[in-house]
């Protein structure tokens, strides 16, 4: 079967007066991690729920490995795993009991189920806590178990809806390594997030969503090139306040001045860095840090929408 | 500051319609229901006592007694099971009471009309005897019928009392003359013709300490029970708590929806119909276990005769638990939140428990409420348990109750399935 794991075309969904999805086109390629990046309310969760058949789209099509998937038809979705944004587990049941319950709901039984549970416990590093009720686990452990419960049946495609919300950095790292091991196993993943660091680190391609639309997609470099161009971001940190006259002059030349920081997108970074440092030096303002780097996804999003990702 | 807190409370209440209704409307509804059940509405009187009558004597005196009883406002006489059926006799009327169709019956035995009162008898063996067959599950009907019977006998048969008195005088005074006898016979005929005393008017009251005719009270159902009332309490309380348990356990659906677990479940191979059927199977087994424990405790602590009624018990326990489970799912599917479910459950369960007879026997309610009670499925459940444990009726006789309970289960389940469609696909 050579068809794409997932192909979404012209998906529209309206709730009352709100258009949650406004003609979304997206394709997930075999073995890749496709990040869906966007602020809260962009339509990411509605998109994932539509793919899982939990939301009936008003228009558009979804095909899974070349087969059209209509809402309510779970058979066409058996190759997909789903990890919801919420901790969708039974808090009074133990870690193992939760895995048994969800494994059985996925149709697993006997030795197949036992093997799946052992594999998942190891993968999520929860073997030592398997007899503990979920309610007693830390937030990070619950998140890991939440993901493990979605992959018991070894899906070929996994949809993760903001799986690291509210997780501390250490647990987040553990989750990243779980995701990376899935990719190594050839699982195709859709990963929704509003953390650009996650998208940059984990995703092969990124689709930027805003107001129910995919406004850009591609690798990070492609997104930067197609939105910002080949320029680099110059960032200069200074020791003292910049006088208003100089501030106006810098802004007039295309820079952004934010208290003790000057940033600028430049197609000729070497020349522009020299010019900026010279002007600051002329005014007696000490430079404490200087960097030239590829623009971040944050800047891409700002460029595309005119607002910050976390507004 | 205190005023601000108070104002904030009122503002919140004003915007919460459900809380408003619960605060002000529901108490009135509850008050009305409970006042109707326990106190009567004020316009409607307690139901008449249905008295089944078997006249094995067929004498003018027995007929007169029946007519006097018929005129009693507190009684409704039943002389045959149906309009076209033959009239009761001593054995058919007993079966009628045993089946629960009436809670009390009167048998006027053959020879009643010919027997004279013997005031000289000290042990009552010479008196005419009436047999009252009672179902003591209705603790009011048989004592009331006994009292009315004595009154009616006195009112309708003064000639019998006179003759009894004259016989004593005749026996102990050396004999009446022919003239005295003739005068007395004339007086007897006058009593006979004027004996159409309007009953219920209090005429011819029984003298204190005078028992009139012999009334043999025969408790055909309760007499053999070790602890007659425990069967009622076990059934009434058992069914009520089954309803509470089912409704609260059905709330797990709401928790699963709120926590996102339902979203996850419905992306597996499990369909919503399968999920609801699974929940109902769980709730039913929980309900049956609950009833088993309760009835075992009833047997151990209160002498409930469980072992001799096991088949009937399990038939009723399973049917009742099924209906209660579907009811619990329906309430959960009607609610948006756990708090709503809690309020709706309290309202519904207490209401149908009151109307259905879990708290107060239905036969003591007004006639209208007795009929209204039949629309509640728990009234049928209670009736089934009473048939098994009280009336000792065979399991075949449970078909109406079992049919109603299973039918209710299907209706509730289909309704719950329809209401949960909102969770299926957005």
Of B259, B260, B270, the CB nearest to A105: B270
Phi, psi of A235 (to 5 degrees): -130, 125
Residue entry with tokens 């929860």: A126
- Low-confidence stretches of chain B (pLDDT < 50) are 41-42, 193-211
Which site among A55, A74, A103, A166 would you substitute to test the B interface, given the most B Cβ atoms closer than 10 Å to its Cβ?
A74
B152: closest CA among B106, B193, B217?
A: B106
B352: closest CA among B318, B328, B317, B319?
A: B328
Q: Tell me the shortest Cα–Cα distance from B338 to chain A, in angstroms.
A: 16
Tell me if A88 and B268 make a contact (CB, 8 A cut-off).
Answer: no
Token digits of residue B181: 């006898």
Q: CA angle at residue B232 from B230 to B237, to 5 degrees?
A: 95
pLDDT of B199: 38
Residues 6+ apart with CB under 8 A from A246: A279, A280, A283, A285
Which site among A21, A86, A107 would you substitute to test the B interface, given the most B Cβ atoms closer than 10 Å to its Cβ?
A86
Complete edge-to-edge strand list for the sheet that includes strand A205-210? A80-83, A157-161, A188-193, A33-37, A205-210, A213-218
- Report the alpha-carbon distance of residue B426 to residue B408 in Å, rounded: 29
- Report the alpha-carbon distance of residue B61 to residue B68 in Å, rounded: 11
Q: For chain A, how many residues are written?
A: 311
Contact residues on chain A for B260, CB-CB shorter than 8 A: 84-88
- Low-confidence stretches of chain A (pLDDT < 50) are 1
Residue entry with tokens 């996994």: A158
pLDDT of B122: 52
Handedness of CA B182, B184, B186, B188 (dihedral sign): negative
pLDDT of A121: 93
pLDDT of A34: 92
CB pairs under 8 A between A and B: 59
- Which residue from B minimizes the CA distance to A147? B264
Of A54, A88, A90, the CB nearest to B425: A54
pLDDT of A111: 92
Q: Is A111 helix (H, G, I), strand (E, B) or coil?
A: helix
- Report the alpha-carbon distance of residue A197 to residue B17 in Å, rounded: 45
Tell me if A53 and B267 make a contact (CB, 8 A cut-off).
Answer: yes
Contact residues on chain B for A54, CB-CB shorter than 8 A: 263, 266-267, 425-426
B263: closest CA among A88, A144, A155, A166?
A: A88
Are A238 and A281 contacting, i.e. CB atoms less than 8 angstroms apart? Answer: no
Q: Is A31 left (phi over 0), alpha (psi -120 to 50) or beta?
A: left
Contact residues, chain A to chain B, C-beta under 8 Å: 15, 49, 52-56, 71-72, 74, 77-78, 80, 82, 84-90, 102, 105-107, 149-150
Of B260, B271, B424, the CB nearest to A86: B260
Tell me if B425 and A90 make a contact (CB, 8 A cut-off).
Answer: no
Tell me if B425 and A107 make a contact (CB, 8 A cut-off).
Answer: no
pTM reported for the whole predicted model:
0.72
**Which alpha helices (DSSP H) does B335-394 contain, by range?**
338-356, 367-373, 377-389
Tell me if B269 and A74 make a contact (CB, 8 A cut-off).
Answer: yes
Q: Tell me the shortest Cα–Cα distance from A100 to chain B, in angstroms.
A: 13
- Which residue from B minimizes the CA distance to A75? B269
Are B151 and B197 contacting, i.e. CB atoms less than 8 angstroms apart? Answer: no
Specify the DSSP class assigned to residue A52.
T
Residues 6+ apart with CB under 8 A from A115: none
Tell me if B269 and A54 make a contact (CB, 8 A cut-off).
Answer: no
Q: Tell me the shortest Cα–Cα distance from A105 to chain B, in angstroms.
A: 6
Phi, psi of A23 (to 5 degrees): 80, 55
pLDDT of B207: 39
- Report the alpha-carbon distance of residue B426 to residue B338 in Å, rounded: 21
- Which residue from A minimizes the CA distance to B424? A54
């Amino acid at each position: 079967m050579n068809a794409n794991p997932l192909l979404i075309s012209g998906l529209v969904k309206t709730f009352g007066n709100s258009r949650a999805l406004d003609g979304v086109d997206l394709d997930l390629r075999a073995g890749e991690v496709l990040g869906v990046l966007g602020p809260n309310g962009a339509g990411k969760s509605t998109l994932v729920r539509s793919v899982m058949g939990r939301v009936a789209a008003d228009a558009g099509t979804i095909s899974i490995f070349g087969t059209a998937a209509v809402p309510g038809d779970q058979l066409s979705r058996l190759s997909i795993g789903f990890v919801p944004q919420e901790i969708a587990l039974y808090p009074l049941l133990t870690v193992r009991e939760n895995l048994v319950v969800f494994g059985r709901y996925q149709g697993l039984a006997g030795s197949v189920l036992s093997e799946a549970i052992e594999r998942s416990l190891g993968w999520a590093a929860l073997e030592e806590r398997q007899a503990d009720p979920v309610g007693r686990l830390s937030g990070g452990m619950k998140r890991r178990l939440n993901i493990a419960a979605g992959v018991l049946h070894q899906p070929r495609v996994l949809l993760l809806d903001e799986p690291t919300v509210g997780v501390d950095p250490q647990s987040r790292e553990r989750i990243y390594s779980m995701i990376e091991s899935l990719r190594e196993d050839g699982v195709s993943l859709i990963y929704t997030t509003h953390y650009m660091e996650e998208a940059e680190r984990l995703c092969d391609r990124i689709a930027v969503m805003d107001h129910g639309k995919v406004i850009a997609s591609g690798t990070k470099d492609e997104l930067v090139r197609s939105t910002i161009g080949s320029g680099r971001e110059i960032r200069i940190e200074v020791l003292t306040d910049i006088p208003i006259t100089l501030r106006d002059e810098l802004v007039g030349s295309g820079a952004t001045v934010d208290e003790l920081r000057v940033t600028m997108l430049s197609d000729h970074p070497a020349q522009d860095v020299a010019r900026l440092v010279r002007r600051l030096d002329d005014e007696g303002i000490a430079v404490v840090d200087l960097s030239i780097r590829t623009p971040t996804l944050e800047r891409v999003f700002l460029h595309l929408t005119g607002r910050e990702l976390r507004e | 500051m205190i005023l601000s807190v108070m104002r904030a409370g009122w503002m919140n209440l004003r915007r919460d319609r459900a809380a408003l209704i619960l605060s002000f409307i529901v108490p009135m509804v509850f008050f009305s229901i409970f006042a109707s059940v326990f106190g009567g509405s004020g316009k409607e009187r307690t139901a008449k006592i249905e008295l089944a009558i078997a006249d094995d004597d067929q004498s003018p005196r027995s007929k007169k007694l029946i007519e006097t009883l018929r005129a009693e406002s507190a009684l409704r006489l039943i002389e045959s099971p149906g309009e076209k059926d033959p009239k009761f006799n001593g054995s058919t009327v007993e079966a009628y009471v045993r089946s629960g169709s009436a809670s009390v019956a009167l048998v006027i035995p053959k020879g009643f009309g010919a027997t004279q009162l013997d005031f000289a008898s000290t042990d009552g063996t010479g008196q005419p005897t009436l047999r009252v067959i009672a179902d003591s599950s209705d603790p009011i009907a048989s004592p009331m019928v006994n009292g009315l019977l004595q009154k009616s006998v006195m009112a309708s048969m003064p000639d019998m009392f006179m003759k009894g008195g004259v016989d004593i005088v005749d026996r102990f005074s050396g004999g009446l003359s022919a003239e005295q006898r003739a005068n007395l016979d004339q007086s007897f005929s006058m009593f006979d013709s004027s004996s159409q005393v309007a009953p219920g008017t209090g005429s011819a009251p029984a003298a204190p300490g005078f028992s009139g005719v012999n009334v043999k009270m025969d408790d055909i159902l309760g007499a053999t029970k070790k602890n007659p009332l425990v069967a009622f309490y076990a059934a009434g309380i058992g069914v009520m708590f089954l309803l509470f348990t089912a409704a609260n356990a059905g709330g797990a659906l709401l928790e699963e929806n709120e926590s996102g677990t339902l979203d996850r479940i419905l992306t597996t191979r499990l369909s919503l119909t399968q999920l609801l059927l699974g929940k109902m199977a769980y709730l039913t087994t929980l309900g049956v276990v609950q009833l088993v424990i309760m009835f075992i405790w009833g047997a151990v602590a209160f002498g409930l005769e469980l072992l001799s009624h096991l088949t009937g018990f399990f038939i009723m326990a399973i049917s009742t638990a099924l209906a209660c489970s579907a009811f619990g799912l329906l309430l959960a599917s009607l609610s948006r939140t756990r708090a709503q479910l809690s309020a709706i459950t309290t309202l519904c369960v207490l209401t149908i428990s009151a109307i259905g007879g879990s708290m107060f026997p239905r036969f003591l309610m007004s006639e209208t409420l007795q009929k209204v009670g039949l629309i509640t499925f728990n009234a049928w459940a209670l009736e089934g348990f009473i048939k098994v444990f009280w009336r000792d009726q065979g399991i075949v006789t449970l078909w109406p109750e079992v049919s109603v309970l299973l039918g209710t289960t299907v209706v509730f389940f289909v309704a719950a399935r329809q209401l949960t469609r909102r969770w299926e696909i957005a």
